[in-house]
């Protein structure tokens, strides 16, 4: 993992905008990506006082794990992970070098495997794929608040 930026505070007056970014190149980096997400959310709460529900923390870690896993599995070269918090939600963005858009398969309880993007779409407020000049960027948004759950 190569860290590109950490905890950048900027954005509109009165609005907190915090982010972290890293590049990943190996299969072992998937665990590092989950750890980066977990540490980032913990620092949001500890340093910036942003409440992060346990549910949201789990969902962000799941989204990061699935998107980075797919990038490492289906695209050659490194992938880039960006996590950014604005307006009470974390935007998870993963870039990879493949121009092939992912297939979000319909729910099928009898299918073995290939449920990752199905899960990401189910737990995210938004999910989109952007073609880039080189490769693609997949972005999903997860709200951090959950009034029925405890925080980290």
How far out from the chain centre does Cα 36 lie?
10
pLDDT of residue 15: 65
What are the tens digits of pLDDT across the range 107-143? 778 877 777 888 999 999 999 999 999 999 999 999 9
Owner of token pair 């980290």: 152
83 in Cβ contact with 64 (< 8 Å) = yes
Q: Are 22 and 79 in contact (CB under 8 A)?
A: no
Q: How many CA atoms lie within 13 A of 72 on its CB side?
A: 19
Alpha-carbon span 104 to 101, nearest angstrom: 9
pLDDT level of residue 16 (50, 70, 90 thresholds) = confident
Q: What confidence tens digit (pLDDT) does each residue in 28-80 have?
A: 789 999 999 999 999 999 998 999 999 999 999 999 999 999 999 999 999 99
Predicted TM-score (pTM) of the model is: 0.84
Domains in the chain (CATH in brackets) are 2-143 (3.30.565.10)
3-state SS, residue 74: helix
How many whole angstroms separate alpha carbon 60 and alpha carbon 89?
Answer: 10
State the DSSP string of 110-141: T--S--HHHHHHHH-SEEEEEE-SSSEEEEEE
């Amino acid at each position: 993992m190569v860290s590109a930026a950490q905890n950048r505070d900027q954005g509109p007056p009165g609005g907190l905008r915090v982010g972290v970014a890293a590049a990943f190149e190996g299969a072992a980096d998937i665990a590092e990506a989950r750890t980066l997400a977990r540490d980032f959310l913990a620092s949001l709460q500890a340093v910036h006082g942003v409440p992060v529900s346990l549910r949201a923390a789990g969902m962000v870690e799941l989204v990061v794990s699935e998107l980075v896993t797919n990038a490492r599995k289906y695209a050659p070269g490194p992938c880039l992970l960006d996590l950014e918090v604005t307006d009470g939600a974390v935007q998870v963005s993963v870039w990879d070098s493949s121009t092939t858009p992912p297939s979000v398969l319909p729910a099928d309880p009898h299918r073995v495997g290939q449920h990752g993007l199905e899960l990401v779409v189910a737990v995210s407020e938004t999910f989109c794929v952007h073609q880039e000049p080189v490769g693609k960027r997949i972005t999903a948004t997860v709200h951090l608040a959950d009034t029925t759950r405890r925080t980290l």
